[in-house]
Structure 1
Amino acid sequence: MDDAIDNFIFHLRAERNLAKNSVQAYSRDLASFAECVQDKAPSEIAPDDITAFMAQQLDEGISSRSLARKLSAIRGLFKFLRVSGDIKRDPTKLVDSPRYGKRIPEVLTLDEVESLLAAPDRSVPEGLRDHAMLETLYATGLRVSELVNLQQRELDTRAGIVRVVGKGGKQRIVPVGQMALEALDSYVSTARGTLLASSGGPGSTPYLFVTRRGGPMTRQNFWKRLMGYVEKCEIEKDVSPHKLRHSFATHLLERGADLRILQTMLGHADIGTTQIYTHVAQARLKQLHVDFHPRA
């Protein structure tokens, strides 16, 4: 089983060109499955082995959504083995997926967003950088991995766009608003060079958002800094970089943005993924009606 998983992971990374985070998620999910079935070879796995694994996971408190993700990884593995001729039958064909309802993501209000964007101290280089990152994140709806991997050449300030390399190496063009462009200009023209002064200067790295160590900002470091700004603003919500992406999408839809255009900006392969934001917008409108209509 370990060899089969290794071959599948190599296929995901080298042939399907999946993002690093996706490959790591597949590896973790399949490792837990391999531990459950122990020494059984892939050809010996039966549907009962998979349902037993699912039951074990539920007993350990895993959510239905996480369990569905694990089952998707297992299905992918056995489909790969079936196509490559390593097994004659796919045991996942007789296993039902767990049912779960669509979870509507919580978003920030406009006031909360404004407060968060204003939180960094723009009198220091790190603050100018963080302000530019937050403005860009909210202006474009990028994933945090896409944000930290942005390179200078992918930002076109004259056209007001960024060229983003998303999941699976797919590229898309996303517009950047005027306020984010101004924040980016302030950061690039002053703070970026200062941050890289001891590491070879502005041309020493192609990455747009950098640290004093000379390398790109990491997801983990940005998350920690974001948490500091959330605490500073006293926002009583579970805020993450992804929540700014949710807020970007919801606020656009509330103001009449076309769903297909939003799908393109977010880099969703399936329109069904984008449609969750219509539910968010509807739920928020209903709550506004309850809060402010005199006969609600």
Structure 2
Amino acid sequence: MKDQVQDFLHYLIVERSLSKNTLDAYRRDLAQYLKHLNEYENISSLNDVRRMHIVNYLYALRDNGKASTTIARNIASIRAFHQFLLREKAAEQDPSVHIETPKTERKLPKILSTAEVEQLLEAPDYSTPFGKRDRAMLEVLYATGLRVSELIELKMEDIHLTMGFIRTIGKGNKERIVPLGKMARDALTIYLDEGRGQLMKKNRTDMLFLNHRGESLSRQGFWKILKKLAVKANILKPLTPHTLRHSFATHLLENGADLRAVQELLGHADISTTQIYTHVTKARLKDIYSTYHPRA
């Protein structure tokens, strides 16, 4: 069964060009699924899997306190896997075909106000190479709405300061070109002129943002930097690496940007994903009304 999972993952890499993070999620989900089938259902062949076995596994996830979003993702992984087996004639039927996906509550993303963004952008110590790097990273994130994974994978050749844009490869290996504002260009110029060379040391790398060893910065490394800067900026609300991306989209819409344009900038395949930010702006308008209208 493990070999069949490997075949499926190889298919996702070659045919679907999925990102590493998505592949890792499939790998984790299916490893847990196979473990359940083997240990609790006594199944050694995927051809013997029936609908009740999948349902039992989903009940086990729920009993272990897994969120509905996690269960929904597991169903998607299991369904894609069984459809692959059926298509490749490695199985005679698809036991996941009538499994219902649980309804998930769509939470509004947490965002920063423009004042809080300013506080965060001013937090790095500009007198050090690390501060110049951190300021440049934050400016780029807020100016472009890049995912953190896209930010840390930027190479020198992806930055076009004179023309004012960044080239990035997003989900599904799709390229997109994102405009770069003046503040972000200025911060990047200072980092490239006065910070990156000191961080690079004796290494020769084309990665844009580097850690203290002169190597590519990791997601975990960025997350630690962000938490430290949030404390320094006295930002008390929950902050994640995606918060600046959420703030970028919301602030654009609040200032009159077209929803389709924001979709393109964020790299969303489906506009329904982008529409969540319209709910955020409506919620903020309601808060403003309640606070300032004398008859609210």
Q: TM-score range by the shorter chain?
A: over 0.9
Match of 1:165 among 125, 144, 169: 169
Deviations 1:100-141 (A, max 9, x none): 221111111111111011000000000000000000001100
Contact map agreement 1:36 1:53 (CA 8 A) in 2: yes
Q: Distance in 2 between the 1:4 and 1:275 partners?
A: 38
- Counterpart of 2:225 in structure 1 is 225
Secondary structure of the equivalent of 1:26?
Answer: helix
Secondary structure of the equivalent of 1:164?
Answer: strand
Contact map agreement 1:119 1:233 (CA 8 A) in 2: yes
- Counterpart of 1:15 in structure 2 is 15
Secondary structure of the equivalent of 2:106?
Answer: coil
Q: Distance in 2 between the 1:199 and 1:217 partners?
A: 16
- Counterpart of 1:4 in structure 2 is 4
- When structure 1 is superposed on structure 2, of 149-158 and 12-21 the one drifting more is 12-21
- When structure 1 is superposed on structure 2, of 132-141 and 100-109 the one drifting more is 100-109
Q: Distance in 2 between the 1:85 and 1:61 partners?
A: 35
Counterpart mapping for 1:10-159 below 5 A: 10-38=10-38, 39-159=43-163
- Counterpart of 1:291 in structure 2 is 291
Q: Spell out structure 1 runs of 4+ moving beyond 6 A.
A: none
Deviations 1:46-103 (A, max 9, x none): 1111111111101100110111011100011011111111112111111111112211
Contact map agreement 1:120 1:131 (CA 8 A) in 2: yes
Q: Distance in 2 between the 1:216 and 1:126 partners?
A: 13
Contact map agreement 1:172 1:267 (CA 8 A) in 2: yes
Q: Distance in 2 between the 1:199 and 1:92 partners?
A: 54
Q: CA RMSD in A?
A: 1.1
TM-score, normalisation: structure 2: 0.96
Q: Distance in 2 between the 1:79 and 1:51 partners?
A: 17
- Counterpart of 1:270 in structure 2 is 270
Is residue 199 of structure 1 aligned with residue 179 of structure 2?
no
Deviations 1:149-199 (A, max 9, x none): 101111111111001111121100001111111100111111111212x32
Contact map agreement 1:199 1:213 (CA 8 A) in 2: no
Q: Distance in 1 between the 2:67 and 2:212 partners?
A: 40
Q: Distance in 1 between the 2:116 and 2:82 partners?
A: 46
Deviations 1:208-267 (A, max 9, x none): 111242211111111101100111122111101101111111111111111111111111
Residue segments in structure 2 that go unaligned for 5+ positions in a row: none
Residue segments in structure 1 that go unaligned for 5+ positions in a row: none
Q: Distance in 2 between the 1:217 and 1:106 partners?
A: 25
Corresponding letter in the other structure for 2:79: R
Q: Distance in 2 between the 1:2 and 1:289 partners?
A: 57
Corresponding letter in the other structure for 1:10: H
Q: Distance in 2 between the 1:70 and 1:254 partners?
A: 35
Q: Distance in 1 between the 2:75 and 2:235 partners?
A: 36
Secondary structure of the equivalent of 1:91?
Answer: coil
Contact map agreement 1:199 1:212 (CA 8 A) in 2: no
* Count of residues in Structure 1 that have an aligned counterpart in Structure 2: 292
Secondary structure of the equivalent of 1:172?
Answer: strand
How far 1:40 sits from its partner (Å)?
3.4
